[in-house]
Amino acid sequence: MNKILTKIIKNQPIILNNSIKRFYCKSSLKDDDSGRIYLVKYEDSEKMIKVGDKDEFIKTFSKDDIKLFSELCGDFNPIHLDEEYSKRTKFGRCIVHGALVSSLIPSVVSKSIPGSIYINQEVNFLKPTFIDDTVKAETTILSISGKKIVFDTKCTVISNSNDNINDIVIKGNSTIYHSGLSSKRTNNNK
């Protein structure tokens, strides 16, 4: 099997020949990946990363956030902005744009690995996020291959005045490219 394919997690996309392909492997990681450390260089800083590393970003969504996002992207769907309309929907109140919630994921990545280029994001919108919900976006490094890093991603409601606390509202994966990424071996892998 080609070396690059041995590092792909089950059902994760990879870009080959400028198109996204899916590969399925029987095991999630090969044993030799457990000790591999990678060095990311950005400007004058360096950071060590490895498969399994996690990071997070937390944001509370206000009415003003929703209005501003609507202006920026041109999405004026009444489900996001009109409280009277939203009361008559299955949600019973205004919901936050899914794209706005999913935009927290690149925030996590850019905070934890500065200088990265976001090249792919696949998300599933599982449940709604409501105005005044506090959401935690989390990433976990699934694989590192060449200059690309694949993350498992999710967004979870962690605080609000409703009954959806601990609801996972978005789940998916993301891929970044970083020109300053290089492989290092730990002392165990000399």
**Per-residue pLDDT tens digits for 94-117:** 999 999 999 999 999 999 999 999
Distance CA 93, CA 82 (A): 9
How many angstroms separate the CA atoms of 135 and 117, rounded?
A: 24
What average pLDDT does range 70-74 have in this prediction?
97
* Closest alpha carbon to 59 in 139, 166, 153, 134: 134
| Residue pair 137/104 in contact by the 8 Å Cβ criterion | yes
Which band of pLDDT confidence, cut at 50, 70 and 90, is reported for residue 39? Answer: confident
Radius of gyration of the chain (CA): 19
Q: Confidence class of residue 35 from pLDDT cuts 50, 70 and 90?
A: low
> pLDDT tens digits, residue range 117-148?
999 999 999 999 999 999 999 999 999 999 99
Helix residue spans in the chain (DSSP H):
63-73, 78-81, 83-87, 98-102, 104-112
Residue 42: predicted pLDDT: 84
The pLDDT assigned to 2 comes to 32
pLDDT at residue number 165: 82
Higher local confidence (pLDDT), 61 or 183: 61
Full set of structural domains in the chain with CATH: 3-189 (3.10.129.10)
Q: Is a pLDDT exceeding 90 seen at residue 84?
A: yes
What local confidence, expressed as pLDDT, does residue 63 receive? 96
Average pLDDT score over the chain: 82
